[in-house]
Amino acid sequence: MLAGMEEYAMRPNIRSASGIVMMLAIIPIFAGLLACMPVPIGNPEKSRIDPQISGVWLITEDEDFEGMYLFQPYDKRTWLVVGISIEEGLNYAGEPIDIGTAEDAIKALEDHAVGNDGITASGAVLYKAWLTKLGGKVFMTWEPVGGMNSDGTHVTEFWFVWRVEKRNPDTLGFYMVNGDHEAFESALEATGEYLDELQPESEEEYRRAVDRMRPKWERALRKVAKNVDDEDLYGEPTTFSRLPEESLAAASRLYKQVLEFETN
């Protein structure tokens, strides 16, 4: 959390990050929350999706399965990203399902029915995502969505920003940008001072304030992004592997169980 924003972030009418932390804990890839950014990078109204990224991906880190993510085009500019885990159903009575790798996840999808007697997912994480090119590199911003405060208001207090690397048509490398990197020190200080002085009282005013500070962060990232060997700037690489076409039907059934819509 941005140090200069702590007082504002803890006001009762503004959503605390603690609730989002609990939601993100469903999928271990975000457990540390060490690299979040206090502003988004890029303007989703001016972005364009890459159709090759749309679809279902299995996420691995050091070969360990971390979840399944659907990149659904929301419009021509942004995706709705839906992440779920794969777990045993409450009434599952078969051999233990040990999902340690992407291959294990594919096997579980293909070998088990979806529901309490087979595989299930206890929850989902939702993001709005868009692409931005800075310093010759492609970045993707993930904005948590789908939550609100007890009084009905909602505001985003942090974003995840990734450098995206296309390794081949079915494999992507994602490198989370570290918001604590020294390259962002001046932007961090300016943002904290600006918000402390402004003391925004509404979520609309807060978003305008964040947008006001976004160019400072983008300039800093554009400058440092040219140094791709800077290990402090990025987290460990996370691999996104496209779900095989023959497993899409099973994945669809699992998503429908988690995100069920009324049809009558």
* First-to-last C-alpha distance (Å) of the chain: 43
CB burial readout 225-236, b (16+ within 10 A) else e: beeeeeeebbbe
Q: Is residue 136 included in any domain, yes or no?
A: yes
- Map tokens 């970045």 to a residue: 139
- Over residues 247-251, mean pLDDT: 94
The confidence score (pLDDT) of residue 24 equals 44
Compute φ and ψ for 185, nearest 5 degrees.
Answer: -60, -50
CA distance 5 to 17: 12
Q: What percent of the chain stands above pLDDT 70?
A: 83
Contact (Cβ atoms closer than 8 angstroms) between residue 129 and residue 116: no
Q: Would you say residue 262 has pLDDT above 60?
A: no
Among all chains, which residue has been given the structure tokens 């777990």?
87
pLDDT tens per residue across span 148-197: 766 677 778 789 999 999 999 999 999 999 988 999 999 989 988 887 78
- Considering Cα of 259, then 38, then 77, then 174, what sign does the dihedral take? negative
Q: Give domain status of residue 34, yes or no.
A: yes
Segment 113-140, tens digit of pLDDT: 998 899 998 888 899 999 999 989 999 9
The number of domains in the chain is 1
Answer whether residue 264 is part of any domain.
no
Phi/psi zone of residue 158: left (φ > 0), alpha (ψ -120 to 50 degrees), beta? beta
SS3 content of the chain, % helix, strand, coil (to 5): 30, 25, 40
Distance CA 255, CA 13 (A): 32
Query: Taking the complete model, does pTM exceed 0.95, yes or no?
Result: no
Instruction: Tell me whether residue 263 is in a domain.
Output: no
What is the span of the domain harbouring residue 215?
3-255
Residue 12 pLDDT level (bands cut at 50, 70, 90):
very low
Q: Contact at 8 Å (CB) between 257 and 120?
A: yes
H helix intervals, 42-184? 102-111
**What pLDDT does residue 36 have?**
83
**One-character DSSP codes across 53-64:** T-EEEEEEETTE
Decide if 176 is inside a domain: yes
Task: Write the CB contacts of 183 (distance below 8 Å, at least 6 apart in sequence).
Answer: 220, 221, 223, 224, 233
Burial classification of residue 45, based on how many CB atoms lie within 10 Å of its CB (0-12 exposed, 13-18 middle, 19 or more buried):
exposed
